[in-house]
Each structure stands twice: as structure tokens, then as C-alpha cells.
Amino acid sequence: MATFYFGRKYSAFKKITVPDADKFKQRYYEFTPSELTYDPSSSTYNVNDGGAYSFGNPDTISEQFRSNLVIRWEYLPGSTLICMVTGQNK
């Protein structure tokens, strides 16, 4: 049995401007703090870069519980019955 925790936190949001540029840093524009504000009441980021739009907070934390059960029974010499049960709870 194991419990797995996974989380991710995003920062330094960018907008793609030239997707086929030779250098990676030339492919995007990074928002400044005055262009990107976070609204905790609605969990959204508001962008004001000439046009006004918003997007949801992509940060996530998840937990999973996984377990395995294996039963082996030798009902006759040389004969084996195996039963496997796997469970997952998110």
C-alpha cells in the first residue's frame, strides 16, 4: 500500500509570440506583474496586455492511494491458483 502525493506550482506565465523562432527565448513574451494579477476569490489570473482576458489557476495538488493484494494457493502439488486484486482511490 502506498500513498502518492503530487503537486505543481506554476510561475512566470508567458504568451507565445513567435512559435518557430530559432532561440527559445524569442518564442514567447513573459508577462510583467502589472499585466498579470491573481484574484484569489475566483482562483483566476487576469491578463491585461492590450486585451483583457483571464484563465484559471493551473496549480494542482493531488493524492492517490494504491494497494495490491496477491493470494497464492497450491491446491494440489504442482498446481497453483493465483488471485490478484489492485485498488486505486483518488
**Residue 23 neighbours by CB under 8 Å, 6+ apart:** none
Q: What pLDDT was estimated at residue 90? A: 59
Q: How confident is the model at residue 86 (pLDDT cuts 50, 70, 90)?
A: confident
Residue-wise pLDDT tens digits, 3-31: 777 888 888 999 999 999 999 999 999 99
Q: What pLDDT was estimated at residue 26? A: 94
Residue-wise pLDDT tens digits, 59-80: 888 888 888 889 999 988 888 9
Please list the residues that pair with 15 across neighbouring strands: 29
Residue 42 belongs to what H/E stretch? none
Count helices and strands in the chain by DSSP H and E runs: 0, 8
